[in-house]
Amino acid sequence: MKYAIISLITFAASALCSSAQTPQQFFQMPVVPDSIVLLHDRTDYLLAHYWDFCDIKKALSSRDKFRGAVVDFFSLMPYGTVGGVTDAMQSFMKKVSTSKEPVLLVSDIAEATFYSDTAAVPSDQLYLIFLDQFLANKKVDKTTKLRYEHIYRILDASQPGKIAPVTKYTDILGQEHTIVPDTTKAGAIVFFNDPDCSECSMARLRIDTDVLSRMVIDRGIVDFYCIYAGEPDDQWRQSVTSYPENWKVGASENADQQWDLRFSPVFYVLNRDGSILLSTSNAGEIIDILGRLAQVSGNAPSAFTRRHSQPAADPAQQPSEPVSDPQP
């Protein structure tokens, strides 16, 4: 990954700032006028003219080189504007729409670049821009589009600013509930995880043992949902019996049909109106958010209280003589 990032930066710098052409290039790159100064403007220009000197039909005869050129094209997009990227993507898709085959080739490259677990340029927004053009493409039949329509629907519904999907879940007692916003609270956090996932277990432990996080949840400042995207069977019930009592624990068989759950664990932070604020797989971000909520709500303990509220160490491991705090 380190070398991929260095390669991307090197390519972007040379493409945006240099007009030199080399014999090794697959096709001639456009030269960005010196009068265009800002990075996003230079990127938009390069994206708009990237394929000007490329004969797509000839380029497709060398799949590996063509794939590399498309990856470089996609890798420039984070530096452009939304409008510039959208226009460039639309123009490019028209160029490759000579038949179904090249369109599907490009779709594979886009998925690998923006959306897969090993994406070089992970970006939901860029992938959605691509899918807009792909789903409108008349060279691709409806049956082939079904999978991509499914991805688009879930990915789009999981973006910040969208109202969170209405999701039903079953608790440990078999009772049915729905994830709904409570306008009397600061918001909600929906924690999708699997009892058999080691990273999920670590995330649960970190949140439960953090003083401020536990305080915010226990005092009902936010609703904290801990949801398993699967069947609420006996094995699941047995695995969650030790979860914190103030967490809203449940299982939802259809959750993966409503939320983007490519990663595990994944947290969705909801505003009090039920709109999605952000999503992350980093438990540390959630702990930071809960800590800030504790501060603004006036519920944060003093430094002394927080330090001394941690579980005491095993007496057998204590030093024989007390260690006093250092003097100022």
Rounded to 5°, the CA angle 1-281-239 comes to 125
pLDDT value at residue 289:
96
pLDDT tens digits, one per residue of 88-98: 999 999 999 99
**In the predicted structure, residue 149 carries a pLDDT above the cut 90:** yes
Per mean pLDDT, which of 19-28, 42-51, 52-61 is the most reliable? 42-51
**In the predicted structure, residue 15 carries a pLDDT above the cut 70:** no
243 vs 326, residue with greater confidence: 243
The average pLDDT across 250-275 equals 96
State the pLDDT confidence band at 160, using cuts at 50, 70 and 90.
very high
The average pLDDT across 57-82 equals 95
Rounded Cα distance, 206 and 244, in Å: 12
CA distances from 7 to 2, 62, 75, 114, 173 (A): 9, 22, 11, 17, 54
* Nearest alpha carbon to residue 295 among 187, 226, 216, 232: 216
What are the φ and ψ backbone dihedral angles of 279, each rounded to 5 degrees?
A: -130, 150
Rounded to 5°, the CA angle 311-313-318 comes to 155
State the pLDDT confidence band at 323, using cuts at 50, 70 and 90.
very low
**In the predicted structure, residue 103 carries a pLDDT above the cut 50:** yes
171 three-class SS: coil
The average pLDDT across 141-151 equals 97
pLDDT tens digits, one per residue of 263-306: 999 999 999 999 999 999 999 999 999 999 999 877 666 543 44
pLDDT value at residue 322:
38
* Nearest alpha carbon to residue 197 among 154, 245, 230, 164: 230
**The 276-280 sheet, strands edge to edge:** 176-179, 167-170, 248-251, 222-228, 187-192, 266-270, 276-280
3 vs 26, residue with greater confidence: 26
**In the predicted structure, residue 1 carries a pLDDT above the cut 80:** no
The average pLDDT across 28-49 equals 96
Read off the DSSP letter of residue 163.
B
The average pLDDT across 179-183 equals 89
The average pLDDT across 158-177 equals 96
H helix and E strand count, the chain:
13, 7
pLDDT value at residue 25:
72
pTM of the model: 0.81
Rounded Cα distance, 50 and 28, in Å: 9
275 three-class SS: strand
Rounded Cα distance, 241 and 265, in Å: 19
The average pLDDT across 154-180 equals 96
pLDDT tens digits, one per residue of 199-219: 999 999 999 999 999 999 999
> Which range (21-30, 265-274, 309-318) has the least confidence?
309-318
Mean pLDDT estimate for the chain: 87
Rounded Cα distance, 28 and 52, in Å: 8
What are the φ and ψ backbone dihedral angles of 270, each rounded to 5 degrees?
A: -110, 140
> Which range (18-27, 132-141, 273-282) has the least confidence?
18-27
Q: Which two tokens stand for residue 60?
A: 């497709």
> Which range (12-26, 35-49, 68-82) has the least confidence?
12-26
pLDDT tens digits, one per residue of 163-172: 999 999 999 9
Report the share of the chain in percent with pLDDT over 70: 84
Angle between helices 124-135 and 100-110 (to 10 degrees): 170
